[in-house]
Structure 1
Amino acid sequence: MVVEPSEAVFNDMMSKVNTLPSYTGGDQGFLNSYYSDFPNAHVFDPNIPQEVLKVRPVPEMERLSTLYNADVGLYMIANKWMVDESELRVIHYTLGPLKPWDWWTSWLLKPVDVWQVY
């Protein structure tokens, strides 16, 4: 993934940080307010052929599919991934202190044992 910082976006965010609502009172809630159209964004597809990419308009925003942003919190609630587990590329550890690098979480979170192997 390539991320290109934008001073203009940063300055715009800073100008709105005290006025946009944050349902969490923190950064995630602010980002959800700032990027309010995010739920409607196209899902990134890494398999689009080059000839199609060359002629289609560049989307303003794309979001990652579950393959690249599998939420461990949702996994814990539903007890399953929303995609084939063997296809997962990125697991997003969203549950506060339950992180894979902490040895004591392996019995709580199924994918931690996979993370610790590598």
Structure 2
Amino acid sequence: MSQPDPDMNHDMKDFRQPMVTSLGIILGFMLNFLGQWAIQDDGEIAVTTQADMVVAIGLIGAIAMMLWVLFRLLNNRYPLQQAGHYYHATFRVYMLAILLAFGAVTAALFV
């Protein structure tokens, strides 16, 4: 893995808006998915098998990570001298959260 550019010590304003927008879209999709899953018409608990538990934990974990990323993006108290490093750490968690979310939804389709 390559090191972040040491000259990337400027404000994150150029990166903030697209990430917040994509997080909003993905979070909305996941919350809709969980909401539809929770209100099934059969009257039973939605999480009944171990496969359901894996999907639920994956989605809840992804939502928690995305909320953490959203907090980091909207936080204006980060060290300006290390803005590039702060952004790269946030971006790594962002990508991991997206991978976890899509992995959990994919697991829901095939399990």
TM-score by length of 2: 0.23
